[in-house]
Chain A
Amino acid sequence: EIVLTQSPGTLSLSPGERGIFSCRASQTVNNNYLAWYQQKPGQAPRLVIYDASSRAAGIPERFSGSGSGTDFTLTISRLEPEDFVVYYCQQYGSSPLTFGGGTKVEIK
């Protein structure tokens, strides 16, 4: 199975700063089928990015995804207060579905 490693585990930033999240796969993600999810406390994951770089419906333009093969990045251009939560990457190009361990963004 494909192992996804997210770094850093915790990111300490201030509102208005840029957030950059890394997701590295142990092998090539087929068709760049890599998604990013946002999860707020007590809520289900919300889709942010799919197919590595496509923004999901209703997601603000400050969110962008990039990368291919084994290295992927989620960027939040300017962090808003509601962005300080946890982000997971997920690959869906191979079975089983696998997830990164998550990156928590905290207010500095």
Chain B
Amino acid sequence: DVQMVESGGGLVQPGGSLRLSCAVSLVDFPNRYMHWVRQLPGEGLVWVSRISPDGSTRDYADSVKGRFTISRDNAKNTLFLQMNSLRAEDTAVYYCVPTTPMDWGQGTLVTVSS
């Protein structure tokens, strides 16, 4: 069973913005820390951001700090990632995952290119 379904990716020009969404079908989503992880083309997995269950604590990788904002809507079991000032090096598949390991969703591809 796929518990996370990411969407919102696409082709964007450098300097542009995108908002990723992730619909999470875990019944205890409001109680879970959630993360965004990305995978650059042909590369490994890199943590991007984390948000606490109530949204009060948010952490970011240095590479995206000040440009990306993580948020959540616990009433709708949805996680978000607002991505601004996008760069070519942000091109990747983005996955949303809980801290507890489980199978991942298919992710959403973000391509930053002119």
Contact = CB atoms under 8 A, between A and B. Distances in A.
A99 B50 CA distance: 15
User: From DSSP, what is the main secondary structure of chain A's interface residues?
Assistant: loop
A16 to B, nearest CB: 27
Contact of A45 (B45, B59, B99): B45
B45 to A, nearest CB: 4
Size bracket, chain B contacts: 20 to 34
Nearest to B37: A97
Contacts of A19: none
A44 B104 contact: yes
A11 B46 CA distance: 22
A92 B47 contact: no
Interface in A85-108: 88, 90, 92, 95-102
Interface string B79-114: 000000000000000010101111111110000000
Contacts of B106: 43-44
A62 B46 CA distance: 28
A50 B46 contact: no
Contacts of B95: 44-45
